[in-house]
Amino acid sequence: MIMDRKELSQIMPHREPMLLVDSSCMKDEGVVSEYTIKEDEYFTRGHFPGNPIVPGVILCEIMAQGSVLLFKEKLVDKIALYAGMDKVRFRRTVRPGDTVKVYSKIVSSRGAFVSVDAYAEVNGEQCCNGLLSFMLVDKDQAAD
């Protein structure tokens, strides 16, 4: 079943302009998600004027948000916060108009920590990959 932005916003705390996933679905042992970079994204207006490029940190955030369905059942009263990023590599420039497709799967899950192997591609060409770690904390703790 493919979840759209409205359904995903019931699981994730992200809202505009930081909701960076258009659709997501479980597939085999992982998740496949997509996000189309709009022409007027806040992060490309100044990066760089006349030559807009999606910053690498935003690609990592797209991969992280695109991975949330992997552990959605744990997010009923929790929120996933970044605990780390390892072996992240940027392999292709991403620009407005590109659709970023994210593939992710859980590598390990121990207590409140979840590690995810994720990679992103545009038109079948890999643009970013890495190992993302999350810490699941109580929603009320995240507000502190």
Q: Nearest 10 degrees: CA dihedral of 110, 113, 117, 121?
A: 150
Among candidate residues 25, 109, 97, 39, the one with its CA nearest the CA of residue 67: 25
DSSP state of 91: -
Determine how many CB atoms are found less than 10 A away from the CB of residue 20: 24
Active site residue 47: yes
Catalytic residue selected from 47, 74, 92, 105: 47
Contacts of 8 (CB under 8 A, 6+ apart): 19, 21, 23, 24, 68
Please answer whether residues 78 and 21 qualify as being in contact, where contact means their C-beta atoms are separated by less than 8 angstroms.
no
Active site residues: 47
